[in-house]
Amino acid sequence: QVQLVESGGGLVQAGGSLRLSCAASGRTFSSYSMGWFRQAPEKEREFVAAISWKGAATSFANSVKGRFGISRDNVKNTVYLQMNSLKPEDTAVYYCAAAGSALSYSTKVYDYDYWGQGTQVTVSS
């Protein structure tokens, strides 16, 4: 069992930066690949970024590639999403998720077993 708690969301102007954190409970955090997803009002939840259990492999949605970074600290049981050059279209609730499958990482919602409660990111123009 893994419990996830996101933090770091807020209101930022376009062009600004935020760093989201996701703290995980449980002693097996390092065995899970981790992902960040987001959901804007009246839209489906979409993939943002993912990282393998050792952090060696990462993947990003085309919409955030070059602007966002993902990293993890398996000692602190935390995964981070660094968001730079934010745009109004990045406004959404951001969720972190953990996948316990054998996949290196996944971009699919259905591959993830555990989810956090989400943190709101609002980018003003």
User: What confidence tens digit (pLDDT) does each residue in 52-83 have?
Assistant: 988 899 999 999 999 999 999 999 999 999 99
Confidence of residue 29 (pLDDT cuts 50, 70, 90): confident
> What are the pLDDT digits (tens) for 106-125?
999 999 999 999 999 999 99
- Those residues whose C-beta lies under 8 Å from the C-beta of residue 111, and which sit 6 or more positions away, are 99, 101, 103
Sheet holding 4-7, edge to edge: 4-7, 18-24, 78-83, 68-73
Q: 11-43 burial, b if ≥16 CB within 10 A, otherwise e?
A: ebeeeeebebbbbbeeeebeebbbbbbbeeeee
- Residue 16, φ and ψ in degrees, nearest 5: -85, -175
Q: Report the pLDDT value the prediction gives residue 46, as an integer from 0 to 100.
A: 98
- Tell me if residue 38 falls in helix, strand or coil: strand
- Residue 119, φ and ψ in degrees, nearest 5: -135, 135
Mean pLDDT on 77-104: 93
Q: What count of other Cβ atoms lies within 10 Å of the Cβ of residue 6?
A: 22
Q: Report the pLDDT value the prediction gives residue 102, as an integer from 0 to 100.
A: 66
